[in-house]
Amino acid sequence: MEKLNAIITGIGGYVPDYVLTNEELSRMVDTTDEWIMERVGIKERRILTEEGLGTSYLARKAAKQLLEKTGADPDSIDALILTTTTPDYKFPSTASIVIGKLGLKNAFGFDFSAACCGFLYSLDVASTMIQSGRYKRIIVIAADKMSSIVDYTDRQTCVLFGDGAGAVLVEATTEEGIGVQDSFLRTDGKGLPFLHMKGGGSVCPPSQFTVDRRLHYLYQEGRTVFKYAVTSMSNDVKEILKRNNLTGDDVKWVVPHEANLRIIEAVAKRANLPIEKVVINIQRYGNTSAATIPLALWDEEAKFKKGDNFIFTAFGAGFVHGASYYKWAYDGASAVAKK
């Protein structure tokens, strides 16, 4: 049996229409456009404002565009992996809702929880499933409605996050030298005190107490998370380069988790990679958690050429972190023309 490689054959994305600007945030909390731009590099973020719509809506819109763009038959999809921190419900899975809405009759699906590293981890899982030979076509969706867990009275966190979704089609190929080449993924388990949501889980179930104390919002110790993120992501990138005998000259594109512009710049500097090679769109979308990497790919797809070497890297609650080496499998400009 020929060796199978897993390749991304298409990208879909979706961000809501409503734009939450720094100017509007400055009327909600004690902040300014200058303060936000200097510290995190975010100018605006998209927010899903319609009542009754959650993460599954964002995910479905991205996946629907993906199917239309690629022309993939919905009946040919074997599985759907949806990674999110903000599921529609505790149960059923958000993946099951999306499968039902899209009419994927032959697919099974599940939610994957790895916070801001969700896309990195899910792509690796999908790649392994493809390489097993049991599955041919898998949709990976990263989607988060971060506005649903952000405290808009906390100026430290409310400026960071936005809503959005990115989706990729992962398929099998026997062509050598393209697709997912290597992944270095780690979970160190030290991050609970520094980045979490206190209320709503089995340790601290919902109650009047948790609501009164605003425990159902994201909590973050910014300085600690910043330090861990820079150290972990830069070390992971260096490790993936070393393992694959790559230098900075061999890398065409670096696509990091879009958490904070200062983090991105620090990671690139520590890993000796020119900032010109780094795909950055945080200024327009903010931190969309798991969705940042696929949204960046969706945004810049036209620039990518078959054979380009990519490094993906991310860091999130847990702490979870990692980096992946991916070799692009198609001419992005021709794919964008299909839109």
Provide the annotated active-site residues: 116, 257, 287
Q: Tokens representing 79? A: 């599985």
152-180: burial string, b at 16+ Cβ within 10 Å, e else: eeebebbbbbbbbbbbbbbbbbeeeebbb
Nearest partner of 72 among 5, 21, 138, judged by Cα: 138
Reported as half-sphere exposure (CB side, CA atoms, 13 A), residue 155 has a value of: 14
* Contacting residues for 237 by C-beta, under 8 A, at least 6 apart: 254, 267, 271, 273, 311, 313, 323
CA 72 to chain centre: 23
**DSSP notation for 302-329:** GG--TT-EEEEEEEETTTEEEEEEEE--
Q: Are 259 and 315 in contact (CB under 8 A)?
A: yes
Calculated CA dihedral for residues 240, 265, 194, 35, nearest 10 degrees: -170
- Three-state SS for 83? strand
Helices (H), the chain: 22-26, 33-39, 55-70, 94-102, 118-131, 155-158, 208-212, 222-243, 261-270, 282-285, 292-300, 332-336
CA distances from 183 to 41, 161, 216, 326 (A): 28, 27, 33, 9
